[in-house]
Structure 1
Amino acid sequence: MDNQDDLSQFLSSRRAKLTLQDVGLPDFGGRRRVPGLRREEVALLAGMSSEYYKRLERGNAKGASEGVIDGVSRALQLDEAEHSHLYELIRSANAGAHPQRRRPVRKTHIIPTLQQTIDAMSTVPVFVQNGRLDAVATNRPGRALFLEMFDDGGQPVNAARFVFLDPRAQTFYQDWESNTRQVVALLRVEAGRSPFDRRLSDLIGELSTRSDLFRKLWGAHDVREHRTGIKSIHHPIVGDLDLNYLGLDLATDRTLQMLVFSAEPGSASHDGLQLLANWADTHGSGLKAPGPEASHHIAGE
C-alpha cells in the first residue's frame, strides 16, 4: 500500500463530499470543474496557506503537526474515526518518506485466561477479531452464530472474505450491502494503522481481484469504528435474529477487539439465542452448517 497515495486520495475524497453551503462559505456562482470544495477553500478553513495544503494533499506530510491535523479535520468536518485515520495516514506517510527496517508482523497469541473468560460467557456469542477481521478466538455460542463463516474451510477464518466471497453471506446478513460498506471501512482504518502488514495487503489484493464491489467500495476511502450497533441476521438454524453488538478493545492486546452479541430480554431474538446456545451445547465440537434441506428452526425438531 502506498502511504502517500492513500493520504492524497483520502483528503481529496473528503473534500469532494463538501459544498460551500456545508462549510458556510459564500457562493459567487461560476462553474466548478470538480465536485466539492477547492483546495484553496479547505486551506482557508483550516487556517493555512494554499501551497501547504496542496503539498499535504499530494501526500507530502513533512512537518504536519497535531495542530495541522486538527485544522484539516475541522475544515473537512471529519468525524472521530476519520480524524484518527488522518492522523495514522500522516504518520505512515512520514514513515514512508524515511524508510526504516520493517519488523515482521507479530503473530497473534490468545492467552489462556482470555479464552477461559469468553468460554465462561456461555449465554452470549463472543467473537474476538484482529484488525484484518480474522477470527482469533470465539466461544461456542459465537462459533454457532457465525456457523457458515467457520464452515467454509478457509484459514484464517476472516469476516471480510465471508462477506464478499461467500454467497451465503447475502442471506445471512439481512442488510448485506450495509455490512459490505462497514467491512471495507474497518479495513481502511487498519490499512492506515498498519501500512506494512503484508497479510493485510494480500487480503486487500485478493478481495480487489475477486470482488468488483469490494474494489469499488475500497476506492471511496470511507472509514469507521466498530463500537456498537445492531446486526440483523438470518441464521440457518434459528432464523431471524436482531442482535445488539458491543465492541471492546482488549487491554491485554490493543490490536484485538472483542465483539459481544446480545438480544433484548423477552424478545424473539433472545429466545432464538437461547435455542442456538442449546443447539451448540448438544452438538459440542461438531458444529457444522446444515445443508439446504435442513429446517431453519430447531424448535420444531
Structure 2
Amino acid sequence: MSKKDDIRKFLVARRANITLAEAGLPDFGDERRVPGLRREEAAQLAGVSVDYYTRLERGNIHGASESVLNAIARALHLTDVEREHLLDLARLTPSAADRRTKTTAAAGVRPSVQRVLDNLAMPAVVYNARQDLVASNLLGRALFSLHFDSDRPNMARFIFLDSRAKDYYADWPLACSLTAAMLRYEAGRAPLNAEITELIGELATRSLQFRKDWADQDVHEHRTGQKAYAHPEVGTMDLTYDVFEMPGEPGLSIATFTPDEGSESADRLILLASWAATQEFDSTMISPDS
C-alpha cells in the first residue's frame, strides 16, 4: 500500500470516530450516510477550506505545514501518538528509524546490557521495532517461554499465528488490537524499513484477525500498562509493564513486568522463578534472522 493510501485511510477512519457532540457541533437530526463528521465539518473545525481538506484527506499531504496538520489533529481529536503518526506520514525525508539497519537487531545486546538484565529481580526482555525478542533475563525467558519456542521469537508472530496465544493472553483480542496498532505506528515512523514491511505483509497474508485489526487504522506506542498472562505452568498473572528506550542501542527497548506487592500474581511470579530455575534456558538471545 502507498503512503498516500495510508494517509487517506487513516484520516477517513479518524474522522469517522468523531461524533457531532464530541466535536461541539449541533445535531440537526439529518440523516448521515457515513459515521462521524462530514468533510466540510472537519474542514471547518480545522480552519481550512473544504477543497484543501479534501486534497489532504486524499493523501496529497506533502507540503502541508505542521501548523495545518496540528489543526487537523485537534479537529479530529487525535491523541498525541496519533498526531505524531500523522506527522510521520507527512514526512518526506527518511527518519532515523528508517536508517536503522538490521545489524541493530542482529548484534543482540552488549554484555553490559545483558548483565543489567540478569541483575533485575523481575521479568525483562529486549525487543526491537519489529517486536523480535532480542534478549531476556531468566525470568523474562520463563514468562515468555512459549514465544521462545520459535527459532525466530517475535511477539507479533506469536500473538497472531500461534494457536496457543488465545490461551496465553487473558485478553487476546486486546493483545491483537494493540499489536497491530504498534506495528502501524512503527511503520509510519519508518516507512522504508523493509523488515517491518515484510512482517506486516506476512501477518496480513496468514492471519484474518490481523487483517481485521489492521483495517481499524489504530496506532499505539507501547510505554506502560497492565496485561494478564495465563502462564501454562503457574497460572494467570496480572503484571504492569514498563518500556524503556536504550539510548546506546538505537531501535531497541527494554520491557519489565512487575506485579502489585502482596498480590496473588506476586506469589505466582515466585513460583515462576522456581520453575525457571529447573529449566535449561539460555537467557542470551541470538539474532532472529540467524
Q: TM-score, normalised to structure 2's length? A: 0.90
1:292 is aligned to none
Distance 1:283 1:11, change over 3 A: same
Q: Does 1:120 align with 2:119?
A: yes
Q: Cα deviations across residues 256-283 of structure 1 (Å, max 9, x unaligned)?
A: 2211001122222111112212222232
Q: Cα deviations across residues 224-268 of structure 1 (Å, max 9, x unaligned)?
A: 121111111111111111111111122223422211001122222
> Counterpart of 1:85 in 2: which secondary structure?
helix
1:133 is aligned to 131
1:296 is aligned to none
1:5 is aligned to 5
Deviation of the 1:128 alpha carbon: 1.2
Deviation of the 1:286 alpha carbon: 6.5
1:145-294 counterparts in 2 under 5 A? 145-151=143-149, 153-155=150-152, 157-285=153-281
> Counterpart of 1:253 in 2: which secondary structure?
coil
Distance 1:25 1:286, change over 3 A: closer
Q: Cα deviations across residues 14-69 of structure 1 (Å, max 9, x unaligned)?
A: 00111212101122343322211111111111111212111111111122222112
Q: Within 2, Cα distance between the matches of 1:230 and 1:62?
A: 38
Q: Within 2, Cα distance between the matches of 1:103 and 1:60?
A: 25
The residue identity in structure 2 corresponding to 1:107 is T
Q: Determine if contact 2:129/2:186 at 8 Å carries over to the other structure.
A: yes
Give aligned pairs, total: 277
Q: Within 2, Cα distance between the matches of 1:154 and 1:82?
A: 34
1:85 is aligned to 85
User: Is there any run of 5+ residues in structure 2 with no aligned partner, and where?
Assistant: 284-290
> Counterpart of 2:63 in 1: which secondary structure?
coil
Q: TM-score, normalised to structure 1's length? A: 0.87
> Counterpart of 1:252 in 2: which secondary structure?
coil
Q: Determine if contact 2:100/2:251 at 8 Å carries over to the other structure.
A: no
The residue identity in structure 1 corresponding to 2:78 is L
Q: Within 1, Cα distance between the matches of 2:80 and 2:224?
A: 15
User: Is there any run of 5+ residues in structure 1 with no aligned partner, and where?
Assistant: 97-101, 288-301
Poorly superposed stretches of 4+, deviation over 4 Å? none
Q: Cα deviations across residues 149-188 of structure 1 (Å, max 9, x unaligned)?
A: 101x232x11011001111111111111111111011011
Q: Within 1, Cα distance between the matches of 2:281 and 2:215?
A: 40
Bigger mean CA deviation after superposition, 157-166 or 265-274: 265-274
1:30 is aligned to 30
Distance 1:104 1:181, change over 3 A: closer
Q: Percent identity among equivalent residues? A: 48
Q: Within 1, Cα distance between the matches of 2:221 and 2:124?
A: 18
1:99 is aligned to none
Deviation of the 1:103 alpha carbon: 6.0
Q: Within 1, Cα distance between the matches of 2:212 and 2:25?
A: 31
Q: Within 2, Cα distance between the matches of 1:286 and 1:52?
A: 57
Deviation of the 1:80 alpha carbon: 1.2
The residue identity in structure 1 corresponding to 2:73 is S
Q: Within 2, Cα distance between the matches of 1:228 and 1:59?
A: 32
Deviation of the 1:285 alpha carbon: 2.7
> Counterpart of 1:224 in 2: which secondary structure?
coil
Q: Within 2, Cα distance between the matches of 1:70 and 1:22?
A: 18
Deviation of the 1:112 alpha carbon: 2.1
